[in-house]
Amino acid sequence: MQANDAQTLVLCVLADGPLHGYAINAAIEELVGERLGPGSLYGALARLEAKQLIEPAEEQGRQRPVRLTPAGREALERELRSMAKVARAGLRSLGANPA
Amino acid sequence: MTTHRGLVRLYPAAFRDRWGPGLEDDARAAGWKGWPSLLAGIADMWLHPAIWPADSRAQRRERVATLGVTATMVAVLLARAATARGVPLVAVPGGALVLWPCTALLLLGLGLVAPLPRLSRPAVTAVLGRAVRRLAGPVVVGAAMVAAAHRYAAVLAGGFRHQLMLTGYWGLLVVGAVQACRVVAGLGVKVVVAPRVWRLRLGIASLTAASALTGSVALAVGLARPQADRPAIAAGGALVLLAWALAATLRDLRETVAD
């Protein structure tokens, strides 16, 4: 996965709690400044559910919220640590403050 | 029906059942700007049946098995199309050395991915009944076409009748391939035993290798001829794309299905 990967973004915004599709996209827009296309968002949700990294939460009418599973939380943490390590190394090489 | 609703209906049913309402809402909100993403998503989902929402891992494996059978049929049709004009691939220098292993890999792949009926009378009857219902028509029409081609060879040798026969032949091949896929699609875990993961991995890997090799040979032969053989080039390119799609299925299997 990469920082702008749809699956990583979805996992990231679900770390705060269960959300449904539209709310996930709104949270992603707040995080990175642009929304995912509907095909990309729901493709990422289907993949994450197939990998058992997210699961359905309680339904709210038409909306079907999802939440992180423990495996999803672990995968996200692993991914974010890996990204942080790369970011720190890159910033050090550039002479920028990695804070 | 609005465009976005029509596009959502093109997704596989299992996907629509799980994500359809939310996807429709988001597609409506995105407007026409969301259409390219929806189209890409539709192609993505049809190429990755292992990630469709499923009740069990066995159901996922059964879907991958159906994909394997479909890929075999597509590969056979494309390999046949590659030789539609000009010399058969097996007759070009070195062609036999590559194409016989390709055939072996294709048959090995099909044997490994094909779901087997459960060893019970109702299950075997259900599979055989479905096979007869779906394939009897193409087999009868095919036999009639072969008989007519032999009986009236002189009449069908050229002109409009020859073109008609040729179109009928290709139409029959496509219908037969679709029907063969429909025999195995959606049989259900009560009727067939979905192949184990190792069989699927080996089978899909074998089909990937067969498609890549056959496609490469068809491309090389099509490009090497004094006048480029367009059907061979197109079929070769499509076979290489098929190999790419099958390789993606191997990754899906690793990520989503385990024994």
**CATH number for A10:** 1.10.10.10
Q: Output the pLDDT for position B81.
A: 86
Determine, for residues B256 and A40 on separate chains, whether the beta-carbon distance falls below 8 Å: no
Together in a domain, B171 and B192: yes
Domain count, chain B: 2
Determine, for residues A41 and B40 on separate chains, whether the beta-carbon distance falls below 8 Å: no
Q: Are B218 and B242 in contact (CB under 8 A)?
A: no
Query: Binning pLDDT at 50, 70 and 90, where does residue B106 land?
Result: very high
What would the two tokens of residue B62 be? 């059964």
DSSP letter for A19, please. Answer: B
Does B150 map to a domain?
yes
Together in a domain, B18 and B137: no
Together in a domain, B178 and B220: yes
Determine, for residues B40 and A40 on separate chains, whether the beta-carbon distance falls below 8 Å: yes
Together in a domain, B196 and B71: yes
Q: What is the mean pLDDT of residues B63-79?
A: 92
Does A77 map to a domain?
yes
To the nearest whole angstrom, how far is the Cα of B254 from the nearest Cα of chain A?
10
What would the two tokens of residue A39 be? 């095909």
Q: Output the pLDDT for position A3.
A: 44
Identity of the residue in A37, A46, A62 whose CB atom sits nearest the CB atom of B37: A37
Together in a domain, B169 and B61: yes
Together in a domain, B2 and B92: no
Determine, for residues B40 and A62 on separate chains, whether the beta-carbon distance falls below 8 Å: no
Query: Binning pLDDT at 50, 70 and 90, where does residue B91 land?
Result: low
Sign of CA dihedral B30, B33, B35, B36: negative
To the nearest whole angstrom, how far is the Cα of A90 from the nearest Cα of chain B?
30
Residues sharing a CB contact under 8 Å with residue B23, sequence separation 6 or more, in sequence order: A21, A38, A42, B8, B11, B16
Does B52 map to a domain?
no
The parent domain of residue B105 ranges over 57-256
Does B165 map to a domain?
yes
Q: What is the mean pLDDT of residues A69-80?
A: 94
A50 or B225, higher pLDDT: A50
Together in a domain, B42 and B71: no
Which region among B49-58, B59-68, B77-86, B110-119 has the lowest average model confidence (pLDDT)? B77-86
B253 Cβ under 8 Å from any chain A Cβ = no
Does A80 map to a domain?
yes
Determine, for residues B36 and A20 on separate chains, whether the beta-carbon distance falls below 8 Å: no
Together in a domain, B27 and B95: no
Residues sharing a CB contact under 8 Å with residue B124, sequence separation 6 or more, in sequence order: B117, B118
Place of tokens 């002109």: B159
Determine, for residues B23 and A62 on separate chains, whether the beta-carbon distance falls below 8 Å: no
Query: Binning pLDDT at 50, 70 and 90, where does residue B244 land?
Result: very high
Which region among A43-52, B56-65, B95-104, B117-126 has the lowest average model confidence (pLDDT)? B95-104
For residue range B152-188, list pLDDT tens digits in order: 877 777 778 888 888 888 999 999 999 999 888 878 7
The CA distances from residue B73 to A12, B14, B42, B237, in Å, are: 41, 23, 21, 16
Q: Output the pLDDT for position B93.
A: 67
Q: Where are the beta strands (DSSP E) in chain A?
A: 54-56, 66-68
Q: What one-letter code names the amino acid at A10? A: V
Together in a domain, B131 and B162: yes
Q: Where are the beta strands (DSSP E) in chain B?
A: 116-117, 192-193
B49 Cβ under 8 Å from any chain A Cβ = no
Q: Output the pLDDT for position B116.
A: 85
Measured between beta carbons, the chain B residues lying within 8 angstroms of A72 are none
d(CA B40, CA B50): 17
Q: Output the pLDDT for position A95.
A: 85
Residue B215, pLDDT > 50, answer yes
B97 or A88, higher pLDDT: A88
3-state secondary structure of A95: coil
Residue B192, pLDDT > 80, answer yes
Together in a domain, B156 and B234: yes
To the nearest whole angstrom, how far is the Cα of B145 from the nearest Cα of chain A?
45
d(CA B242, CA B74): 8
Does A68 map to a domain?
yes
Does A99 map to a domain?
no
Together in a domain, B16 and B95: no
Measured between beta carbons, the chain A residues lying within 8 angstroms of B34 are 37-39
Interchain CB contacts (distance < 8 Å): A and B: 83
The parent domain of residue A74 ranges over 6-94
Which region among A15-24, A90-99, B99-108, B123-132 has the lowest average model confidence (pLDDT)? A90-99
Does A1 map to a domain?
no
Measured between beta carbons, the chain A residues lying within 8 angstroms of B44 are 39, 43
d(CA B62, CA B50): 9
B17 Cβ under 8 Å from any chain A Cβ = no
Domain count, chain A: 1
Mean pLDDT over the full length of chain B: 87
3-state secondary structure of A68: strand
For residue range A12-39, list pLDDT tens digits in order: 999 999 999 889 999 999 999 989 999 9
Q: What is the mean pLDDT of residues B32-59?
A: 91
Measured between beta carbons, the chain B residues lying within 8 angstroms of A49 are 18, 53
Residue B207, pLDDT > 70, answer yes
Determine, for residues A62 and B52 on separate chains, whether the beta-carbon distance falls below 8 Å: no
